[in-house]
Amino acid sequence: MEITLVQGDITEQRVDAIVNAANSSLMGGGGVDGAIHRRGGPEILEECRKLRAARYGKGLPAGQAVATTAGRLPARWVIHTVGPVHSTSEDRSELLASCYVASLRVAEELGAGSVAFPAISTGIYGWPMDDAARIALDAVRRADTSVEDVRFVLFDRTAYTAFESRL
């Protein structure tokens, strides 16, 4: 597997699948979730609604992942995963690692060879960037997967630098 780092916008990535840092409602939100739905168009939300009705009436639990179309985005699929909200009283690292592993598993099932990840949980969910970078890179490196190309798409310089020094 090749791991690359990019500073930029995940909605512009030409890969088989991009990963969305969603919330368990799957009904959209701010941050990268908002950008993906905005640029991908209503087809994504439509599929999310169907998934909720069929399988996730109580919401998609943190650490799990599920795929939809990518609508008008250049990718073929969006893999929605729910990161844990950062906590200082409880160690939720395993759940954050699970987002990456579960997303790669879904990608493999789809036959996706290239996957782009944002830095899950590091925005609205408050995870410190350095720690999130360590967990993300360790999880992806250890994952037993046929995905060949993993790209981390970091939105700003600080995020890029955090991942770069970990890599």
Positions marked catalytic: 33
Which span sits near ligand AR6 by CB under 6 A: 26-34, 66-74, 90-98, 139-147?
A: 26-34
CB of 30 to ligand AR6, least distance (A): 4
Chain centroid to CA 80 = 6
CA 61/CA 154 separation, integer angstroms: 24
CB of 39 to ligand AR6, least distance (A): 8
Considering only 1, 4, 9, 165, the residue that binds ligand AR6 (CB under 6 A) is 9
**If binding is defined by CB under 6 A, does position 123 make contact with ligand AR6?**
yes
For ligand AR6, the closer of residues 39 and 76 by Cβ is 39
Q: Angle CA(141)–CA(146)–CA(147) in degrees, nearest 5?
A: 70
For ligand AR6, the closer of residues 115 and 119 by Cβ is 119
CB of 1 to ligand AR6, least distance (A): 21
**If binding is defined by CB under 6 A, does position 152 make contact with ligand AR6?**
no
**If binding is defined by CB under 6 A, does position 64 make contact with ligand AR6?**
no
